[in-house]
A and B are shown apart, each in its own frame.
Chain A
Amino acid sequence: MTWETVIGLEIHAQLATASKIFSGASTKYGAAPNTQASLVDLGYPGVLPVLNGDAVRMAVKFGLATHCKIAQRSIFARKNYFYPDLPKGYQISQYELPIVHGGHVDVQLPDGSTRHVNIVRAHLEEDAGKSLHEDFAGMSGIDLNRAGTGLLEIVSAPDMRSAQEAGAYMRKIHALVRYLEICDGNLQEGSFRCDANVSVRRVGDTKLGTRTELKNLNSFRFVEKAIEIERDRQIELIEGGGKVTQETRLFDPDREETRPMRSKEEANDYRYFPDPDLLPIAVDDALIERVRATLPELPDAKRERFTNAYSLSAYDADVLTVDKRLADYFEAVVKATKAAPKIAAHWVMGELTGALNRTNVDIDASRVSAATLAALLDKIEAGTISGKIAKEVFEAVWNGEGSVDAVIEKRGLVQISDTGAIDKLVAEVIAANAAQVEQFRAGKQQVLGFLVGQVMKMSKGKANPQQVNEALRKQLGA
């Protein structure tokens, strides 16, 4: 019996507004506890929420980028429950009439196929504060700095069929909100969070199975891992004659398991009703057009353009456009170098990304600028150094040993292109490898590669491989 996994994601993207969604307090991360909470955020008696217009514009921007319908009139509702980090005893959210609904994104999968994922809705709401259970022996600490920060909750349809698809969708939304500059996408700081609804059914079934909701999925890897674990748990349960219970489960990455949340953490009746303190959000065509004018080139369009304009493979274009800043870096290199875009792409995705990851440095702070990389590629293009030597130069520049020219000069890495010198090296190698030369002459073409390697070795990698190749063939009379 084969099983199909059905997944829908609820993504919470913290909006990159300077102040909170209903108060003037700053949203900057990392301040001392409770120093960025105004009386409104603290839920003091008599205070009232006032909607931040930037949050509305950001929601509209997301809606436009995902082919959603933008509601001309949407309303805020109160979601009522008690928790110490929820100062008012209710969260201002949207319930029946969200600001955007009914859109989709097309997610590229590693096998080259595309998954069409519908976006049911995206609504505005406020974040809660944080409860800190460690460091306060026998007590809980409450930090309300985050309370009232604007969130966009993006709800997908149950359109994904594997953990990998869910991961790819999450990455796609992550890239999108960063392109749109509506969310900084910082997963460690909790700016981008995800819950997953997971169910399984037998292949061919049209009815959805009972789902569980997985919480605490704060990385792409966790989303995929948690879904796989939950899928296996559900299948095992059903095959063993059991039934899946609809419940909220917590993913524990250390123990690699999901377990039900304590019933206290799960309120069952939120008593939603329209918030009488806030007027309906009105979005007219003029506002929509103003927001549309601020839309950047989106990942899909950019990928399309990269494949066409730069003759990149779909895969390369995809990797380069996930992060707008990476794409911008790549284009800056292409503009500045004589080397082919394909080579530039190869270097950005290889050496550069590798170095960034290895040293945990952000692309904005890259120690090799786009101009420097372009200069390096020009050296290869001009035949001054080989590709292999260029990697050594890149490494040295990255480590602060100076400019591309300075490193080549200092380390004496200029490629040997002098025909005389190469001929001499080739002659030496032919003399020293009589057996191999014999094999080559007998028709074994592959041996040429070995001989080239010997010459390169003797030149400490500096000989121009093209010339070595030609010289060898000439001297061997091939």
Chain B
Amino acid sequence: MHTRTLAQLSADLRARRVSATELTKHFLDRIARHDATLNAFITVTSEQALAAAAAADKRLGRGDATPLTGLPIAHKDIFCTAGVKTSCASKMLDNFVAPYDATIVERLQNAGVVMLGKTNMDEFAMGSSNETSFYGPVKNPWDHALVPGGSSGGSAAAVAARIAPAATGTDTGGSIRQPAALTGITGIKPTYGRVSRYGMIAFASSLDQAGVLTQTAEDAALLLEAMAGFDERDSTSLDDAVPNYSKLVNEPWERVTIGVPESFFDAGLEADNAKALRVALKELEKLGATLKPIELPHIHLSVPAYYVVAPAEASSNLSRFDGVRFGYRSAAKADDLLSFYMRNRGEGFGPEVKRRILTGAYVLSAGYFDAYYLQAQKVRKLVSDDFTRAFREVDFVAGPTTPAPAFGLGQKTGDPIQMYLNDIYTIGANLAGLPAMSLPCGVVRGLPVGLQLVAPPLHEAQLLKTGHYFQRVTDWHQRVPANYA
């Protein structure tokens, strides 16, 4: 049952081949069996899940169910969930129970989705390996000595190990796509503003976007359809009708041109990874896509620009964690206001979060603002313009999701630059606000790697459809790690 996709489970539920309660129990059992090893969940909400499943079963019986009613999924612990601990994997919020639901949580709940729990992640979504979590690292289901990627590492591991059929995630610089690639699943980051950010704890507001991690592109279409759309509580959400993604992915194939930046295949990309990617591109060609070499002249500047803009916004976004109204407050008695702040924040935040707050405060400070923040914004525009230019000639830009398959736990924690370079292929889409998807496209040293497709703004339907067609002719997405089959 656990290897079935959301789309299949949806059909099973409606045909009453399985009840929502059975399904939920099945996945709760799998979590109980495997999560001590994986550490994919911070909180498992068994009781609420069973109650929601019972309600879903009633709804399925009444006949007013949606295609999502009764489907269990996991939420990244960055989304506020009313009455449930919402920690952002930080000691700072270890005691925080959100008083409200994030918009996407609310929308999925209204559709009848059952929440299994809250998944582990890098602290405040800052990291590419899930090693910065206050709750310890998540293990890659393919090899427990390896990282699952990050920051949505818990969501990715949970779906890859089939202890949850699907999960939500957030992507600021690759946090959905990179872990999806490293765990052999499908991950999509929609257009900036396509999905409401309300109730999603902010890391870098101009880059953050919620999305999903699923087994298939078809599943992603199903979930995204229910999550996306304008939200009056988020001024940056797009007021644009949400297409019927799950229907559109099955429409007839249309000829597409796929741009391939040759610079993506330079020395930075592991040779076998490049080989796998070429094979995947060939598959797309066989489907009828035209491949076209393109250039993104400024894409190599993405990482430095990102590590100015993202920390700048983070340094401000994280100021609210001061121990005054909620969250961690040091037990030590403070002598004055300054030491009160320093104790709360010094003890509540982990080292990577502190590093980014310091970087961000630095690049925004008087005398450095122009040289760093403004300069980075100019680079951001150049990167964005590169994509705009490319999309005059091609429908998608394709490339690797990561430079190599999953790396070892602890392997890069001592070298932030090496860690940051993991996001070299994914960051461009965040800087430009574009929808991007990672699809499992091969195996290198027995480990999954991903193909990334980037599309013009609001072209999620086309992206998902291409992914769906690719998955009709490939089976990488059906491979399950040996221990979890």
Contact = CB atoms under 8 A, between A and B. Distances in A.
Contact of A46 (B80, B206, B318, B369): B80
Nearest to A42: B325
A89 B316 CA distance: 7
Contact of B198 (A46, A90, A278, A279): A46
A78 interface: yes
Interface in A38-85: 39, 42-51, 78, 80, 82, 84
A46 B199 contact: yes
B93 A271 contact: no
B483 interface: no
A396 interface: no
Nearest to B324: A84
A279 B316 contact: no
B341 interface: yes
Instruction: Give the dominant DSSP class at B's interface.
Output: loop
Interface in B194-241: 197-202, 204-206, 232-236
Contacts of A273: 312-313, 316, 364, 369, 373
How many residues of A sit at the interface, in one of the four size bands?
20 to 34
Nearest to B196: A48
B206 to A, nearest CB: 4
B198 A48 contact: yes
Interface stretch (B65-73, B94-102, B464-472): B94-102
B319 A88 contact: yes
A264 interface: yes
Nearest to A86: B319
A142 interface: yes
B267 interface: no
Contacts of B369: 271, 273
Contact of B316 (A50, A90, A278): A90
A82 B235 contact: no
Interface string B101-126: 01000000000000000000000000
Interface in A239-270: 264, 269
Nearest to B87: A45
Contacts of A44: 99-100, 320, 325-326
Nearest to A88: B320
A48 B316 contact: no
Centre residue among B93, B99, B232, B316 by max chain A CB count within 10 A: B316
Interface residues of B, number: 45
Contact of A271 (B99, B236, B316): B316
Contact of B235 (A43, A51, A80): A51
A277 interface: yes
Contacts, number: 100
Contact of A45 (B86, B341, B373): B86
Centre residue among A49, A87, A276 by max chain B CB count within 10 A: A276
Contacts of A39: 99-100
Centre residue among A43, A44, A88 by max chain B CB count within 10 A: A44
B361 A271 contact: yes
A447 B201 CA distance: 90
A59 to B, nearest CB: 17
Contact of B338 (A46, A87, A264, A271): A264
Given A45-B96, A47-B198, A89 B320 contact: yes
Contacts of A276: 204-206, 236, 313
Interface in A328-374: none
Contacts of A43: 320, 325
Nearest to A89: B319
Nearest to A140: B337
A87 B337 CA distance: 14
Contacts of B98: 45-46
Interface string A9-49: 00000000000000000000000000000010011111111
Interface in B348-384: 361, 364-366, 369, 373
A149 B320 CA distance: 18
Contact of A48 (B204, B233, B321, B324): B233
Interface in A267-303: 269, 271-273, 276-279
Contacts of A51: 235
B35 interface: no
Interface string B252-295: 00000000000000000000000000000000000000000000
A273 to B, nearest CB: 5
A194 to B, nearest CB: 26
Contacts of A277: 202, 205, 235-236
Contacts of B99: 39, 44
B322 interface: yes
7 contacts: A45-B98, A46-B86, A46-B201, A89-B319, A264-B337, A273-B313, A279-B235
Interface of B: 79-80, 86, 88, 93, 96, 98-100, 102, 197-202, 204-206, 232-236, 312-313, 315-316, 318-322, 324-326, 337-338, 341, 361, 364-366, 369, 373
Given A49-B235, A80-B316, 5 more contacts: A39-B99, A45-B320, A46-B199, A87-B320, A88-B319
